[in-house]
A and B are shown apart, each in its own frame.
Chain A
Amino acid sequence: MTIDRRKLIALGAAGAAATLHPPLLWEAAAAQHGSSASGDELPAREASWYKKLEEGRVECELCPQACKVADLERGMCGVRENRGGTYYTLVHSLACSIHTDPIEKKPLFHVLPGEKAFSFSTAGCNVECKFCQNWEISQFRPEQVQAYNLPPERLVAAARRNQARLTAATYGEPVVFWEYVRDVAIAANAVGVRPTVVTNGFIKEKALREVLPLLSAIKVDLKSFRDEFYRKQVRGELEPVLKSLQVIKEVGVWLEIVVLLIPTLNDSAAEVRDLCAWVKSKLGPDVPVHFTRFHPTYRLTDLPPTPVASLERAWKIGRDAGLNYVYLGNVPGHPGENTTCPGCGEILIRRVGYRILSNRLVNGSCPDCQRSIPGVWS
């Protein structure tokens, strides 16, 4: 028997879950949908955001790609299919990756520090980042990866068994499984588990607004502040992502932003400065911005990892721009991982990688100067 890397990753994820709670693996395996090695048809649910066009075509209204899809065809995400003039999602409850992570891994630094997030993903993505870290699930179709039937209620039950106070739709791109995200959030809220999302933010406003009130926190990857980068490296657009950030802020869901700095492509001081100025003026100084380190992968293997000096420059630019919470990521042990009080300058939460070394917050405030630190702390 041979096994490819994608299956190995999926099994690894399942194995990790099994380590945490053996019955989960059994349940998952028992309900497993085979990747369509034999061409088995995937289960389908009617999509929530689309409109019907003439002659059996449909137009997806979930993301700004706005795919117009003919019968038997799929949208760019690869997980939504037109079957006879009705548009279906093929990934609702079809998790291909499940794992319990520290919330710091998302990263959501201002959300229940040190708590576990029961994390899940399906196959598919609505863009194609050349530097995707999870391309082995995000850039594949659901029948091409090992997946598990994990309906929302069972997912949330698994989260509780694993002592996870949060769920996190992550790894791939939650926008493409937005109905699943919504239904998991409903199930989670019903039992006091907090649902979170890690997304590219490339989503239409209506779909975003319909699900946002169900979420406790959301992290958006702002991949660049240049539309040209979005078009060439991501096959998306900048403007809809900026719009999403503003909508999230307006609705009041806790928001953090991650910017993956890629040498020569999006790490110029000018671009970082523009980005930070926009965040401060449109979202306010209290939205955390994480600058994280790139490592070569997928279709971008000819660039080196981001020099730490570039990250530190961005860190300084962000703070100089007046942002109160600027972090560095993928640089374990760097002081840029810590949360510092903008009032008195004392370190409040000390981190190394995904570990919390100390947390001095008292009821969400600095114990030294009593300044309130924004976030989801309880």
Chain B
Amino acid sequence: MTRLTRRELALVFGAGALAGTAQARMWRPLVQSGVVGLAEARAELGKPLGPEKARLAMAGALAAAVGAESGVETVAALFSPRDVVGIKVNCLAGRNLSPRVELVEALVDLIAEAGVDRRNIIVFERSNRELQRAGFTIRESGPPYRCIGTNNDYDREPATSGAIGSCFARMVSTTCSALVSFGVVKDHDLSGVSAGMKNWYGVIHNPNKYHDNGCDPYISDVARHPYIRKKLRLTVLDGVIAQCHGGPAFRKGGIFELGMVAASTDPVAADLWAWREIEAERSRRGMPTLEAAGRPVRFLATAAKAGLGVDDPARLSLVTA
């Protein structure tokens, strides 16, 4: 694992070239394998981060993730103005352990500033109720952005990907051309970690079928379906408050103030970072590793083998804003 500053990364990857790429006729989203951008963002449990701090953290993490000069520049490297951008938030655990509204809105603003029509930015979760419980306001058509549950609007026929056979939410199969996984950093009683990749369980109709064997290979199989793989541009993890034990529901005893926001174009690397932070906190508390606790994080190796990203700690680059 290497730790770089954002400026060092910019020199390595050439942020200027990135901006040029974004404007080129053959526009392609940027991918930085193994790189996770990090920005500090501290707030106590139940206390708001505040829009300014949220903006700073989000822009910093994004820029660090791709070595760009600004968050807007980063977003321009990831999304085309023609995109319909779906931001999948994981709100299962309610207000205390879901992506913070202010962070999500900071991302929405950055995407809009990069040229995407606000009407084409959709924050979504499985149901309106879950969104509302996490503090989001339902906005069927905006402004300033759309925020809706998929509300059981699935494809009519199942799609197969590896071991899974699922009807995908039309939000990902049809409506959106680009996707963001916006998760949290938390322990999961079966998969070990629930961060960015497991968040995609929320777009299939039958996630309950795929929790055996530590959700492996199912998490990888969902993420490698073309609906996700071809559209996923970014993973963002709200690590302001994280949970090292007792997930996926909120459990106060497992909470810790990690104080970070992470962003990556590599979904496997993002989850690898989350896993390391959870293990570090468990170690600090004298708790057994996730593997020793009976929930080894197997799905990352499977996802890496499927070519979804980097799970090798030696190739993980953490870039601080």
Q: Which residues on A are within 8 Å of B, measured CB to CB?
A: 4-5, 35-41, 55-57, 65, 67-68, 70-78, 128, 130, 135, 139-141, 143-144, 235, 298-299
Contact = CB atoms under 8 A, between A and B. Distances in A.
A74 B208 contact: yes
B3 interface: no
B216 to A, nearest CB: 15
B151 A130 contact: no
B249 A72 contact: yes
B53 interface: no
Contact of A40 (B129, B206, B248): B129
A77 B212 CA distance: 12
The prevalent SS among residues of A at the interface is loop
A67 B209 CA distance: 11
B209 A71 contact: no
5 contacts: A39-B151, A72-B93, A72-B248, A73-B211, A144-B205
B128 interface: yes
A55 B206 contact: no
Q: Which 9 A-B pairs have the closest CB atoms?
A: A39-B129, A39-B127, A71-B249, A78-B208, A70-B189, A72-B249, A299-B165, A39-B128, A144-B152
Interface in B181-197: 188-190
Contacts of A73: 189, 211, 248-249
B248 A70 contact: yes
A346 to B, nearest CB: 47
B249 A35 contact: no
B197 to A, nearest CB: 17
Given A36-B127, A39-B130, A55 B208 contact: no
A156 to B, nearest CB: 30
A141 B128 contact: no
Contact of A139 (B206, B246, B248): B206
A75 to B, nearest CB: 7
A67 B213 CA distance: 11
Contact of A128 (B152, B209, B251): B209
Given A78-B208, A141-B206, A5 B127 contact: no
B92 interface: yes
A67 B189 CA distance: 12
Contacts of A41: 129
Contacts of B209: 76, 78, 128, 139, 235
Interface string B168-203: 000000000000000000001110000000000000
A68 B160 CA distance: 26
Contacts of A143: 127, 152
Of A37, A39, A130, A298, chain B has the most CB atoms within 10 Å of the CB of A39
Interface string B127-169: 1111010000000000000000101101010101000010000
Nearest to A65: B212
B239 to A, nearest CB: 21
A56 B129 CA distance: 23
Contacts of A144: 152, 154, 205
B156 to A, nearest CB: 6
Contacts of B211: 67, 73, 76
B165 A4 contact: no
A186 B177 CA distance: 53
Nearest to B154: A144
B206 A140 contact: yes
Interface in B262-280: none
Interface string B242-255: 00001111010000
Interface string B26-60: 00000000000000000000000000000000000
Contacts of A55: 246, 251
A151 B209 CA distance: 28
B1 to A, nearest CB: 30
Contacts of B249: 56, 70-73
A362 to B, nearest CB: 49
A241 to B, nearest CB: 18
Contacts of B154: 144
Contacts of A77: 208
B231 to A, nearest CB: 23
B296 to A, nearest CB: 15
Given A57-B189, A70-B189, A299-B165, A37 B151 contact: yes
Contacts of A37: 151-152
Contacts of B251: 55-56, 71
Nearest to B210: A76
A141 B208 contact: yes
Given A4-B156, A37-B151, A55-B246, A78 B129 contact: no
Of B130, B158, B165, B206, chain A has the most CB atoms within 10 Å of the CB of B206
Given A39-B151, A57-B189, A143-B152, A76 B208 contact: yes
Contacts of B158: 135, 139, 298-299
Nearest to B151: A37
B293 to A, nearest CB: 11
A378 B154 CA distance: 46
Nearest to B153: A4
A140 B190 contact: no
A281 to B, nearest CB: 33
B129 A36 contact: yes
A140 to B, nearest CB: 6
A143 B151 CA distance: 9
Contacts of A128: 165, 206, 209
A63 to B, nearest CB: 13
Nearest to B187: A70
B156 A36 contact: no
A37 B149 CA distance: 8
Contacts of A135: 158
B115 to A, nearest CB: 32
B152 A36 contact: yes
Contacts of B190: 68, 70
B156 A5 contact: yes
Contacts of A65: 212
Nearest to A298: B158
Contacts of B165: 128, 130, 298-299
Nearest to B130: A39
Contacts of B212: 65, 76
Given A4-B156, A56-B251, A70-B190, 20 more contacts: A35-B152, A36-B127, A39-B151, A55-B246, A56-B246, A65-B212, A70-B249, A71-B249, A72-B92, A72-B248, A73-B211, A75-B208, A76-B209, A76-B211, A78-B208, A135-B158, A139-B205, A140-B205, A143-B152, A144-B152
